[in-house]
Every structure is written in structure tokens, then in C-alpha cells.
């Protein structure tokens, strides 16, 4: 046995006759021997088909080879391990620590013909794993493989659900448990370390095995970073120090609900008037059809030409100013594609700003009965031009925010200005898109004042995407794609370093006979009052869905829940600032603050909203009571004032009073207690 | 270039600087070079889960390695090619010809730790491929992979069909296009060669690529045999000379329909009397519940104890004799499992005749609300004992036949007497089961007099399984699992060397809301009149299905179709004898006799019944006309006498008059013309 140490003794490499053990701050990271190797290389060709953001991905694998033999060389700041199998089959692992004391592992295939790597990290059978970006079906990732590829999230996302089957039959759109707009090659282990990978290639993180995590990379190299901490809070601080943190939200966000309205200036005004006169706190109008519409069989679709449609929204510029004086913001919509039949696309094409096909012609993506060109964000001129479109057409108009939609659809057979393959750029695309929006704010000095929200993401979205939303849930109660799914989505994103998350109140996808019920809309509304932003969406087929102005009871419910939300403003603002300062997410898994309670590690449908509120949303239909797990603490029901010491309790949960508890020792006790005065 | 020849110049090996081309009678069989290799070896662990005969199969692949470098040594009768990559990564290919002039390729991994082989055979883009055992969804196998593993055939067998989805949700039972009771690693190429593999391991034959066929073997060795011919007829003769041929059928088979009846002696008698008095030609009663019943949620299930149930079938022994004198045979049922709660299983257990689990305890398989032990057919004593059960309980009772059901369910985690892994024995199991039945007939001198029919099969079923039936079709019109699917099943089996095939008239599986309609039963009946055996089945939920005695019109239809069938007796008998003598299947693809007509290679729902009848079954609901393709010949409509020279024609097809044509030059013209005299 030959133990070697590096980086202030934080990293040690213990050599055996046929292998090694790599330890980082008492965590075993890698184990290798002839019989139980840790590294494979291989060669394959990705077979990737895309239909409307739904991907079918196969690896036509030609080779997969275990690398058994090793040669270790000590270097200044670590080691170089050369893995060999035969003359032309070998790879090198560089082990080092950086100035922050992070462990860095870099694997590189020595022959370029090998474009696959499998690395097995050591694991303990009882480790839990969190993160992987935004995961809707599982919070603890242990026990399953998680392919990481930004795409549509799927409709239904569970092969045993009928909606999924229908969506699969129609457009291969049903999805599966790992489909997500926002994957990220980052995970946190309950051994209290994070592991983050720098690459953007297709990856598959397989947490199925008891004694290892197998990370597969569809590239000839991979860089892994590890950092440890004594607490999860400290660990998240370190992770967000690496990846970046979100700014604080504009102050107006806390002043009410953002109403998703379509149909033109007058419709917006009428609905706004109705809601405000009924006591609903409204902070803005979000009109995604500000640039016009087209009808498709999917429903009404926005016209992707990103300029104010004067016909549909007459006098919008003046109205935006009037509304602003009344404390009502106007939010619009944009995405990184331009409709092939409209003038913005023509301009982009003329300037050579669209991505290309194999014949060097402009690539047009089919988006469901219409086509759109892809702005080549790797071309600095195209990027700047599109940033200019945002500045001029959205910010100058007076938009206080917008949905920066899409980002997941970069086809892998398109060709980019920067010469990098679209397969490698695919996952990076949402971040380029976020950065383009972010810089438009930055360069107009609107950061912290104007807000855009995205569904697509990847590493870097932490810094550039000012707010995430959960994408397109079904307007139903399903665990994998309904209201419930938003909770693990927020928590897994929190463990991946993005701490700002909200969702379409009522969900979005209205297909295959689904219709949003009044109860679903009301439950979703009350849940959203305990997230950092409240925003409604009509759904893709508004007429099939119950809406916020569906009846007076619904409006009264919105009045109540927005009053609660706005009353919580100072508390939420404080939580958001902790996220901005320290990377402490606004919606947090319980185990972050109750790490000694093993049960908290298994909860995926409860969360802490800031430090002091425990929220257990009702995500089933027809429920009048709900069972909640409280970790040991002094808890007070926010609606009844009843006290609880911890454990599993069942409480009455009429609509408008979701299970929410606050800590007795909170400095916000008076504020919390005041919520009981708000009329039901 | 260095050309070497072996085996009377039939085989040549042309060497290049980095590879070779192996040619067999002008067909290029293998091509190998550094850049385009033909051989891979690897290592994996099969992850196989079984639930009621439905298998979920994954390969946990550890390695897959191209073997690039070769060393060729000439031997007496061929060559030995050693493929190497590294010291511990190599395999050997033995090339030789046998006394019949067949080309034999034997691949063997040199290290036992490599238990996977991928071999790419050279192909031409326009080759068609047929065989693969019994294939229900595709006849031409080109363009898809075909895993070869005996299992349930699936319910629905098409992921876009609702029935499939329901079956998948309930029991992972929906299946897919390649699921079959009877796979076989044998195919015929339109280059007019067959390729047959001796192994029984899990294989995957992938015919997707334009320039190669990739054969994957989950074993450390594989033996391939090739033979060429100038015609398909000669090729099938050669293939069946290798694999064995079926005996002629008992004469009584041609004398009418075998009525599937359940419910006891009296019910059988009543239905028999009704049918015969209505003019239906009946050759026998098939009573699968002769050994008793149990009720499950799937429907009524046979009691798996394989002895006459005196209570349910009083005086059966005497009645069998009476019926026999009237020309009515009695057929029963058996399978290779014994119900755990009954005495036959107890006896087998006491004698140590059941397969074992990992703790060396008797293995009991769950069959749907009951368990059964697996008779260990690799134990000669157990095999003989079970053969004795067949002789004593079935043959001595006077059964003229039986359904020898199942054979596909050998679990891969059971342990066998012969020490071979159940994963390797799994595909061989149906043949052991067939052989056990066959020898029971042989040893009691009943071959050609008593008939058993099987659904499960593999290489060797040609010799041992006296008749195949298509298994459990849905009682519907679906292409992948209804009436239509029986036709490619018969034709693919024909191209695999088994020429006797029939099906349950009306289908079997009655689940998820399916109910057999009168029209379906009648269309299936008229199709079956042009197969070598007519036999009905009530289905698993008889009360949900239209039955042969459903109304007088149905009975009259059976009278008409059985008259046609019995009138054809000398012709069918002659076709069956050609199958026995030369391996010419009774139901034949058109291209066998019209090989110059390229369109015939694409037909999967038409066939020749013997040499002179062309049959195009109506397999859609509500059709009164049907379009048929006739290859160039002198054709006469069997119902109208109208003459056709060839091409696509549309004919009227009322029920009872399916599209059937005979060749004007047939020696059976008078017989065929006489069918027009049979009353409708």
C-alpha cells in the first residue's frame, strides 16, 4: 500500500498492486482494480431524431472497452493516471485540486476515435442523490438512470398513463420520467459532496447500482469537479459560488399575481379591472400574444415575429405607461426562433444569422404546422442582433418582463457558426439563450427591474436565467406531469444551484380530453402563493380550461391567496435575498435544515419556503384533509394557530387553506400570525 | 490479392493486406478489413425478468470490442482465422465445409470471460430476408432487428394500439413486433442461400443495415451453416434435410373441423350432434378441460394435473370409443408444467423431477393466480416419467391428439439437471417438450395416427412437433395480433423449415373489452378451410365470444366451409405429403413458385395453398370486395370460374367466398371446379 497525498492532504491516492483508491476529504471518490475497474472508453454514433422537441436518442455503439492497467505519475498538484488496455486503447485521468480546494478530475481518451467514456464513482448503498437539474418525477435520483438532454418534458411522462400513450402515438411526445427542459450534470450526495461536470455533451448518470454511480459521456473527454462541506447549506453556498447565483427579483413581483391574458388591449383591461375590483392583488399582465397569433390544431399559437402587433394590441405603448402608473407591469413573450414566413426571419436570413443545414442552406425547424429559423447564437453578430431585438422591441416598448420560451429544440443535424457540433451545443443552447436575455437587461441597466423567466436550462442558467418556470404541466392531477410534479422540480433545481422557481397556475397542456377543473386551478393558486412568483396561464386551449375569472368563488380565492402572498412580501423578499447572497434556494428540501432526520430525505412533495415556512401542497383531487410530516421543531399551523412538535399529522385542508406551518422561533412570527386575519 | 479455395472450389477466401472476403458459391458471406471489420466480442450480463411468459430482457454490457487483426492458416478443409486485438482479446473463426458441401463457420471467443459475439455477414441493399421462425408482424425481415427468444407472443404486439398499452400496463404483456412463441435462428436470403445457427442462446438478428446483417450471440461461441441452391424449392429441400421434416398428418384431420368444446361429456355430445345434424363435417372434439378446471380472473383455466376428470367428463373412456366408431376423434390437452397444488406435481417433487431454485428447492412458476412446477426435461428419468404420463393418461385413454401447450416459460433463474444454464436452455425447451410428445407417439406406434399441436418451437421442432398452431391471436382484426397475423406466421415458419401450420378459428385472447364478432369467426373459418387443419377455440372468455353454434347462419357457414375443406382432402393430403417428402410447405409464399416476379417478394397476406391454389384471406371487417395480386399464370376464380392472367384485381368477396384462385394447368382442376357445386 502506497498512500500519496496532495492539496493540503485533502486528496489522497492509495495505490494497491493492481489499482488505487482516490479519497477526497474522507469521501472515497474512485476505486479501481483489475477486477473492479472504474473506467471504460468506447466509440459510438449518436442516432438522434427530433420531432417538435421530442427526442428519440439511441447510441449505435461500436465499442466499449474496460481500461484495466494503470501507470501513476505524481505531479505538482496531484497525479496523472494513464489507463491502458492495448496500443491504441488508452486514456488519461488528471487528478488535481484548484485554488478553492476543489477536486478536479479530467478524463481524456488518448485516441480521438474513442468518443465515449464511462466512469464509475464509488458509492455507498445508503447514499441519496439529488440534483440533475430540474427533475419532475424523482427527487432522490438513487435507483435509476438519468439521461441528461434538454428537451420537451413530455406529456404525461409515465408510460402507464393513458395521456402519455396518446401523446406517444400522436407525436412521440409522451416522454418519460427523466425528460426535462432543464437537465444539469450536477448532483449532491448525502456524503455531503457535490459533483459537477463541465461538459455539455449527452450524458447518462446511472444511480442504479449500490456501490457505484456510473457516469456516461458521449464525448472524448470529461471534467468533473467535487467539493465537500459539513452542512448542506454550506455545500449549496459552494456549489453556487462555482455556478453563479440569481439576482434578487424585481420588487413588483411580490405585489400580486401576474395575470396571463391573451386577446388584445381591451381584453387585458377588462380582466384586470374585474380582478382588481374584486380585491385581487395584481402586479402585472402577461400577454404572450402581444406579437400576434396563428391558429394550429394544437391551439392558438403566438406569432413568432417578436414585435408588437398593433392590430391585436392597439395603443399598447401608451397603455403600458398607464398601467405602470397603477402598479401594473406588462410582460410579453419571445423565444430564440423566428417564424419562417415573417419579416424578422427574412432579415436574419439575409444577414446570414440562421443556423444551416448540411447543404449550407438555412435550417428551418418544424414547430407544429409552421416552420421557424434558428438564430445562430454562436455567431457573435447574430447574438448581438437578436439581443438588439429584445432591447428594441421588448424593453423599449416598456415590457417589465417576458417569458423567454424554448431553447431545447436545437436540432443535432444543424450546423453552427462556431464550428462545434450541434450535438455538443444542444445542451448549451438554453444558456446561450438565457445569456442573450440577461445581457439585454444588463446593457440597458434593467437587471433587478425587468424579469424574464425560462423553462429551458443547463449549467450557467444559475447566473443568466433570472427566474425559472416549470414549463408545461398537464392541466391535471397526475404525479408525473401535473401539479405535484412542480414540487420535486423546484427542489431538484434547488439542489442544482438554481433557487428561483415558479409554475403556470393551473398548468398548461390541454390536449387529449384534458380540461382544467376549477378545483385544480384553485389548488394550484394556493400552492403558488408559497412560491416566489404567482403567474397564471390560460393553457394552450383556453376555452377547455377553468380560468381565474371563471366565477366569483374563483376570483375570491385569488383575492385571498394574493393577499396572503403580498402579506408575505417582506419574508419572501428576505428568502430571495438569501438565495442571491448565499445560494440558499427559496424553496428548500426539508433535509437541508433537518439533516439528522432520515425521513426528510424521502420527502418529495413537501418543502420549506424560506427557513420558517413548511408547505405541503394538496395535489390530489377532492381532498378535505392532508397528511403532513413535520420534522422535530415547534410548528404552528398558519391557519389555526395550533401547535405541533413534529411527526406525521393529518390536518383539515379546505381550499384556500393548504397545509402550511411556521416555526415558533421564527423572527417572522407576527407576520405569519397576521395571515389568519385575511378573509377566507 | 491472394485467393484460396476449399471444398471443390465452392468456398474461396480472398486475402487483402488487412482483411479478407469469404465467398461461398458466388455469394459473398463475410468481408473483413481494418476499417470495416466483421467481428466483435464482448462481455455482458443478461438481465432477464419474466412475468407469465412475458420477458423483459436487457444486456448489462461491460465490453464490446472490435477484432481487427487477423492471422489466416489454411487447414485440410478450410481455414482458421485468428482475430486479435490485445493479449487477452481474441477469437477464432473456423471455416470449413461438411460432406454435404455446406459452409460451416464456427466462431469461438478465446477467453471464456467474453460471452458476447457480434458477426456481420455481407449483404446487398436489395436482399430480402425471410424466416426467423414464426414472425407475426413482418414477413420480409429486412430493415429491423429480430431478437430471438421464445416467449408469449404479446397481446396486441403494437405499441400504438390501445390493447397493447392496456396489456403492458396490466402485466407487461403487450409485446412487440418480434415477440413469438417460435423463434428460430434461421433465415433465407434472396441471394438464395439459407443461414442457420446451431446455438440456442439469446440472439438478435439485425437486418437494418444496407450492407450487412449483424448477428449477435449471447454466448462465447456460435456455429453458422450455409447452403445455396438454384431455386427456393431446392433451398427449402436442403434446409429441411438439415433440420428435419414433419410426418404426414393423420388421415382423419382432413375429414372436417375439430370442434373446441369445453364443459363435459354431455356438452360435447350436444354440440357435436347439433353441428353434424346441420351438415357440418366434424372430425373430432377437442376438449382442453378434460382434466378439470379452475377459475381465475383471466377466465376459466385448465386444471394442470393431466388426468381425466371423471366428474367433469363422466364415461369419457367409453364415449371416446363410441365417437371413434362414428369417425369423431377426441383430443385433449397437456403442457410441461404441473399445478403445484395437485398430485402429479407432488409425485414429480417426491421423485426430484422438478427444476430447482438457487437454494436447490423446487421451482414454482406463477401462471396467473396459481403456481406450477416445471418438469425437468433435461433429467432423463423425469423426461421418461412425463412421457409415461402422456402414454398412460392421454394415449391409453384413447386421445387421438392434444394441444401440447406452452414450452416458452422456462425461467432463466431456475436450475436444471443437465447443468446447462437455463438462459441457454430456454430456447431449447419447446423442442425438448415436442420431443417428449413425439417419442410418446413413436414408442406407442401412433405416429401418423395421433396428432399433437404446439405453439412454442425452436430449431428441431421441424422433426418433433407434428403440427404447429399460431398460438393466441386476439379475437380482433388487428394486423399484428388478429386474423391477418396468422398468414405471415405460417409463411415465415414455412421459410424456416416447418410446413404445417393452423390457427384457432376465431382467435383466442378475449381481454380488455375485446369480443369476437360473428363476422370475425366466419372470416377466420373460411380462411382455415385453406390451411391443413380446421380447429375452433372458444377463447379464454367463451361467453364474450361469438361461437360456432352462435346462430343457424354461422352453423351453415361451418357446413359450407368444412365441405370445401373435406372436398379438398386429396389435394391437401398431396400437399402435406410433399411437405413430408421434400420439405415443401403446405402454405407457401408466392415467390417460391414465381421467383422472377419481384412483387411477390412483398406479399405477406397472400399465399399458395399447395402448388395450385392462391389464397388471399379477407382480414378486414365489413369488406365485400378484396384486391388480390396474381402473378402471371392462368388463374381461375374458384367461386365464379372467371379467368385471370395476372396483375392486381379486385373481386367480390361475400362471406363464404374468400378470394381463392386455382391454376388452369393444375391436375386438380376437376376437383377445384367441383367446389362451385357446394351450397352457399
Q: Which of A472, A481, A504, A538 is catalytic?
A: A472
Tell me if B651 sits within 8 A of B639, measured CB to CB.
Answer: no
Residue of chain A whose alpha carbon sits nearest to that of B209: A60
Contact flag A63-B65 (C-beta cutoff 8 Å): yes
Q: Give how far B85 is from chain A: nearest CA, Å.
A: 8
| Distance separating alpha carbons of residues A652 and A306, to the nearest angstrom | 47
Residue of chain B whose alpha carbon sits nearest to that of A66: B63
Q: Is the pLDDT assigned to residue B74 strictly greater than 70?
A: yes
| A contacts of B66 (beta carbons < 8 Å) | 62-63
- Please check whether residue A62 touches B, CB under 8 A: yes
| A contacts of B169 (beta carbons < 8 Å) | 160
Residue of chain A whose alpha carbon sits nearest to that of B87: A86
- At residue A2, the pLDDT reads 54
Q: What's the grid cell of residue B396?
A: 391409453
User: What is the torsional sign of CA B541, B542, B543, B544?
Assistant: positive
Rg (CA), chain B: 25
| Distance separating alpha carbons of residues A490 and A502, to the nearest angstrom | 8
Supply angle C-alpha A618, A623, A627, rounded to 5: 60
For B444-466, write each residue's pLDDT tens digit: 999 999 999 999 999 999 999 99
| Distance separating alpha carbons of residues A30 and B203, to the nearest angstrom | 35
- Please check whether residue B209 touches A, CB under 8 A: no
Nearest to A86 among B64, B86, B162 (CB): B86
Tell me if B20 sits within 8 A of B139, measured CB to CB.
Answer: no
Answer yes or no: A408 catalytic: yes
Give the residue from B41, B61, B65 with the most A CB atoms within 10 Å of its CB, the best one to mutate.
B65
Q: Give how far B86 is from chain A: nearest CA, Å.
A: 6
Query: Which of B137, B117, B125 is CA-nearest to residue B207?
Result: B125
Q: Give how far B586 is from chain A: nearest CA, Å.
A: 38
Q: Give me the residues of B, 616-635, that contact A with CB < 8 A.
A: none
- Confidence grade of residue B1 (pLDDT, cut at 50, 70, 90): very low
Give the residue from A64, A163, A168, A170 with the most B CB atoms within 10 Å of its CB, the best one to mutate.
A64
- At residue A328, the pLDDT reads 98
Q: Give me the residues of B, 476-495, that contact A with CB < 8 A.
A: none
| A contacts of B61 (beta carbons < 8 Å) | 61, 64
For B381-431, write each residue's pLDDT tens digit: 999 999 999 999 999 999 999 999 999 999 999 999 999 999 999 999 999
Tell me if A215 sits within 8 A of A490, measured CB to CB.
Answer: no
Q: What's the grid cell of residue B285?
A: 372434439
Contact flag B64-A63 (C-beta cutoff 8 Å): yes
- The model carries a pTM of 0.94
Q: Give how far B50 is from chain A: nearest CA, Å.
A: 19
| B contacts of A61 (beta carbons < 8 Å) | 61, 64
Q: Give me the residues of B, 150-169, that contact A with CB < 8 A.
A: 159-160, 162, 165, 168-169
Q: What's the grid cell of residue A627?
A: 397528511
Contact flag B66-A64 (C-beta cutoff 8 Å): no
All residues at 6 or more sequence positions from B217 whose CB lies less than 8 Å from its CB, including other chains:
B116, B117, B118, B119, B197, B199, B201, B203
| B contacts of A65 (beta carbons < 8 Å) | 63-65
Residue of chain B whose alpha carbon sits nearest to that of A113: B35
The runs of H, that is alpha helices, within B310-369 are 316-325, 343-351
- At residue B3, the pLDDT reads 57
> Torsion over CA of A149, A154, A158 and A164, rounded to 10 degrees?
-150
| A contacts of B156 (beta carbons < 8 Å) | none
Catalytic residues of B: 405, 408, 472
Q: Give me the residues of A, 288-317, that contact B with CB < 8 A.
A: none
Give the Cβ contact number of residue B513 at 10 Å. 9
Contact flag B62-A64 (C-beta cutoff 8 Å): yes
All residues at 6 or more sequence positions from A645 whose CB lies less than 8 Å from its CB, including other chains:
A630, A632, A633, A634, A635
Give the residue from B165, B212, B216 with the most A CB atoms within 10 Å of its CB, the best one to mutate.
B165
Give the residue from A34, A59, A65, A168 with the most B CB atoms within 10 Å of its CB, the best one to mutate.
A65
Give the Cβ contact number of residue A559 at 10 Å. 19
Give the residue from A41, A158, A165 with the most B CB atoms within 10 Å of its CB, the best one to mutate.
A165
Tell me if A155 sits within 8 A of A164, measured CB to CB.
Answer: yes
Q: What is the percentage of chain B residues whose pLDDT exceeds 90?
A: 95
Contact flag B64-A66 (C-beta cutoff 8 Å): no
Contact flag A62-B62 (C-beta cutoff 8 Å): no
Q: Is the pLDDT assigned to residue B507 strictly greater than 80?
A: yes
Nearest to B160 among A85, A89, A169 (CB): A169
pLDDT block averages, 10 residues each, chain A of length 680: 60 95 98 96 97 94 96 93 92 96 97 95 98 98 98 97 96 96 98 98 98 98 98 98 98 98 97 98 98 86 95 97 98 98 97 98 92 97 98 98 97 98 98 98 98 98 98 98 98 98 98 97 98 97 97 98 98 98 98 98 98 98 98 98 97 98 98 90
Alpha carbon B619 to chain centroid, angstroms: 20
Contact flag B64-A85 (C-beta cutoff 8 Å): no
Residue of chain B whose alpha carbon sits nearest to that of A38: B62
- Please check whether residue A84 touches B, CB under 8 A: no
Judged on CB neighbours under 10 Å (0-12, 13-18, 19+), A33 is middle
Contact flag A62-B66 (C-beta cutoff 8 Å): yes
Instruction: For residue B394, give the DSSP letter.
Output: I
Amino acid at each position: 500500500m502506497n498512500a500519496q497525498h496532495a492539496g493540503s492532504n485533502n486528496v489522497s491516492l492509495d495505490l494497491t498492486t493492481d489499482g488505487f483508491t482516490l479519497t477526497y476529504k474522507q469521501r472515497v471518490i474512485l476505486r479501481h482494480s483489475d477486477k473492479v475497474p472504474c473506467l471504460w472508453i468506447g466509440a459510438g454514433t449518436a442516432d438522434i431524431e427530433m420531432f417538435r422537441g421530442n427526442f428519440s436518442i439511441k447510441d449505435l455503439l461500436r465499442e466499449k472497452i474496460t481500461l484495466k492497467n494503470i501507470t501513476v505519475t505524481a505531479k505538482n498538484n496531484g497525479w496523472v493516471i494513464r489507463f491502458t488496455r492495448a496500443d491504441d486503447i488508452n486514456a488519461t485521468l488528471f487528478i488535481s485540486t484548484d485554488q478553492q480546494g476543489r477536486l478536479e478530475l479530467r478524463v481524456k481518451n488518448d485516441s480521438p476515435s474513442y468518443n465515449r467514456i464511462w466512469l464509475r464513482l464509488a458509492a455507498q448503498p445508503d447514499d441519496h442523490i439529488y440534483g440533475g437539474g430540474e427533475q419532475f418525477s424523482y427527487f432522490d435520483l438513487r435507483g435509476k438512470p438519468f439521461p441528461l438532454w434538454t428537451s420537451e418534458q413530455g406529456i404525461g411522462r409515465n408510460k402507464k398513463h393513458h395521456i402519455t400513450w396518446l401523446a406517444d402515438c400522436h407525436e412521440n411526445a409522451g416522454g418519460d420520467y427523466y425528460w426535462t427542459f432543464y437537465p444539469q450534470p450536477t448532483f449532491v450526495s448525502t456524503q455531503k459532496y457535490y459533483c459537477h461536470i463541465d461538459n455539455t455533451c449527452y450524458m447518462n448518470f446511472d444511480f442504479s447500482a449500490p456501490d457505484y454511480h456510473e457516469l456516461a459521456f458521449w464525448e472524448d473527454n470529461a471534467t468533473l469537479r467535487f467539493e465537500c462541506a459539513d452542512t448542506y447549506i454550506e455545500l449549496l453556498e459552494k456549489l453556487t459560488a462555482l455556478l453563479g447565483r440569481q439576482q434578487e427579483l424585481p420588487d413588483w413581483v411580490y405585489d400580486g399575481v401576474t395575470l396571463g391574458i391573451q386577446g388584445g388591449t381591451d381584453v387585458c383591461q377588462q380582466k384586470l379591472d374585474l380582478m382588481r375590483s374584486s380585491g385581487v392583488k395584481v402586479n402585472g399582465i402577461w400577454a404572450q400574444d402581444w406579437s400576434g397569433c396563428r391558429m394550429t390544431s394544437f391551439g392558438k399559437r403566438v406569432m413568432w415575429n417578436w414585435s408588437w402587433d398593433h392590430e391585436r394590441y392597439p395603443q399598447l405603448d401608451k397603455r403600458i405607461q398607464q398601467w405602470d402608473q397603477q402598479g401594473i407591469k406588462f410582460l410579453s413573450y419571445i423565444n430564440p426562433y423566428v417564424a419562417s414566413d415573417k419579416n424578422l426571419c427574412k432579415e436574419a436570413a439575409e444577414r446570414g444569422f440562421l443556423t444551416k443545414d448540411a447543404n449550407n442552406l438555412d435550417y428551418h425547424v418544424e414547430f407544429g404546422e409552421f416552420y421557424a429559423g434558428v438564430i445562430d447564437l454562436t455567431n457573435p453578430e447574430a447574438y448581438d442582433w437578436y439581443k438588439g431585438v429584445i432591447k428594441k422591441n421588448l424593453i423599449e416598448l416598456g415590457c417589465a418582463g417576458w417569458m423567454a420560451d424554448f431553447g431545447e429544440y436545437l436540432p443535432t443535424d444543424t450546423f453552427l457558426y462556431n464550428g462545434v457540433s450541434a450535438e455538443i451545443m444542444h445542451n448549451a443552447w438554453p444558456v446561450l439563450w438565457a445569456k442573450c436575455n440577461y445581457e439585454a437587461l444588463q446593457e440597458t441597466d434593467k437587471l433587478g427591474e425587468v424579469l424574464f423567466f425560462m423553462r429551458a436550462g443547463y449549467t450557467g442558467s444559475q447566473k443568466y436565467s433570472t427566474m425559472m418556470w416549470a414549463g408545461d404541466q398537464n392541466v391535471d392531477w397526475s404525479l408525473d406531469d401535473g401539479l405535484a410534479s412542480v414540487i420535486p422540480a423546484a427542489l431538484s433545481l434547488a439542489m442544482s444551484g438554481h433557487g428561483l422557481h415558479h409554475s403556470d397556475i393551473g398548468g398548461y397542456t390541454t390536449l387529449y380530453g384534458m380540461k382544467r377543473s376549477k378545483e385544480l386551478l384553485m389548488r394550484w393558486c394556493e400552492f403558488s402563493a408559497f412560491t416566489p412568483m404567482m403567474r397564471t396561464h390560460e393553457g394552450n386551449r383556453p376555452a377547455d380550461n377553468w380560468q381565474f375569472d371563471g366565477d366569483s368563488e374563483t376570483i375570491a380565492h385569488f383575492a385571498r391567496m394574493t393577499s396572503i402572498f403580498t402579506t408575505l412580501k417582506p419574508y419572501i423578499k428576505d428568502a430571495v435575498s438569501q438565495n442571491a447572497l448565499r445560494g440558499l434556494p427559496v424553496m428548500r428540501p426539508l433535509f437541508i435544515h433537518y439533516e439528522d432526520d432520515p425521513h426528510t430525505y424521502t420527502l418529495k412533495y413537501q418543502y420549506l419556503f424560506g427557513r420558517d415556512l413548511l408547505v405541503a401542497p394538496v395535489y390530489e383531487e377532492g381532498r378535505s384533509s392532508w397528511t403532513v410530516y413535520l420534522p422535530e421543531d415547534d410548528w404552528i399551523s398558519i391557519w389555526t394557530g395550533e401547535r405541533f412538535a413534529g411527526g406525521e399529522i393529518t390536518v383539515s385542508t379546505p381550499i384556500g387553506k393548504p397545509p402550511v406551518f411556521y416555526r415558533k422561533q421564527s423572527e417572522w412570527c407576527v407576520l405569519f400570525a397576521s395571515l389568519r386575519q385575511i378573509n377566507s
